[in-house]
Amino acid sequence: NAGVTQTPKFQVLKTGQSMTLQCAQDMNHNSMYWYRQDPGMGLRLIYYSASEGTTDKGEVPNGYNVSRLNKREFSLRLESAAPSQTSVYFCASSEVVDSNQPQHFGDGTRLSIL
Amino acid sequence: RKEVEQDPGPFNVPEGATVAFNCTYSNSASQSFFWYRQDCRKEPKLLMSVYSSGNEDGRFTAQLNRASQYISLLIRDSKLSDSATYLCVVNAGNNRKLIWGLGTSLAVNP
């Protein structure tokens, strides 16, 4: 029962480097999300994808891009990493984007930008 | 007023105790409410949805008070394994957004 799988689990980057965080879900969910979690800030939505082929900005999209590759996969890209992007990143999915639906999370990517 | 507010705690209770957390929300149009549990450095996991009539799942009871705009979580007969941070989550009225509280930390002691 994989659920939501994120890779990598840990990553250290230098300022200015780029990287892509991968997320895949096997629950046949339509909607997928990327969050970041910082101490004292709670979970903040970066981008979400209501369904395959659509993406929308969340609360803190600046500095990030996303791709909904297919129904299963939703990737998050940092084009030019900055120290302010040091965080724990969580991918989540739900059956539909309706906020009556609970979200299921991957186990996170811990990203440090030096 | 923050959109979702929780007492950060920590709540330190002995095994077997009953403990309750409240979470207040500011948007009277909110329709969906959840409690998630998050262990240290792990992902949030859904504990329970909160329904208008209240709901119970084993030792856990969730209540909604729309008039006062808060939800509550009651844990009976606390176990060591209940030690975690409990996140209150509320939808932001008519849009698709979920608002996450900062969490209440619970430590159950032997």
Q: Which two tokens stand for residue B10?
A: 């920590």
Give the residue from A60, A46, A45, A49 showing the smallest Cα distance to A96. A49
pLDDT digits (tens, 9 = 90+) for B57-77: 999 999 999 999 999 999 999
pLDDT computed for residue A56 by the predictor? 93
Angstroms from B86 CA to nearest CA on chain A:
12
Size of interface A-B (CB pairs under 8 A): 48
pLDDT digits (tens, 9 = 90+) for B41-61: 899 999 999 988 889 999 999
Rounded Cα distance between A61 and B25, Å, is 24
Q: Which of A43, A56, A94, A110 to mutate to test the interface with B (most CBs of B within 10 A)?
A: A43
- Helix, strand, coil percentages for chain B (3-state, nearest 5): 5, 55, 45
Nearest residue in chain A measured CA to CA from B86: A42
Nearest residue in chain A measured CA to CA from B42: A107
Residues of A in contact with B45 (CB under 8 A): 105
Nearest residue in chain A measured CA to CA from B50: A100
Cβ neighbours of B93 (radius 10 Å): 13
pLDDT digits (tens, 9 = 90+) for A51-68: 999 999 999 999 999 999
Nearest to B100 among A43, A50, A108 (CB): A43
**Which whole-number Å values give the CA distances from A25 to A3, A22, A70, A80, B46, in the listed order?**
6, 10, 11, 27, 16
Cβ neighbours of B87 (radius 10 Å): 24
CB contact under 8 A, A99 and B42: no
Q: Which two tokens stand for residue A109?
A: 């990517």
pLDDT computed for residue B31 by the predictor? 85
Residue B1's SS3 state is: coil
Nearest residue in chain A measured CA to CA from B87: A42
Rounded Cα distance between A101 and A55, Å, is 18
Question: Hey, is the C-beta of A90 within 8 angstroms of any chain B C-beta?
Answer: yes
CB contact under 8 A, B98 and A105: no
Question: For residues A106 and A6, is the Cβ–Cβ distance under 8 A?
Answer: yes
pLDDT computed for residue B97 by the predictor? 76
The model's confidence at residue A1, banded by pLDDT at 50, 70 and 90, is low
Compute the Cα dihedral for B33, A30, A22, A47 and give only its sign: negative
pLDDT computed for residue B1 by the predictor? 67
Question: Hey, is the C-beta of A97 within 8 angstroms of any chain B C-beta?
Answer: yes
pLDDT digits (tens, 9 = 90+) for A15-65: 999 999 999 999 999 999 999 999 888 899 999 999 999 999 999 999 999
Residue B90's SS3 state is: strand
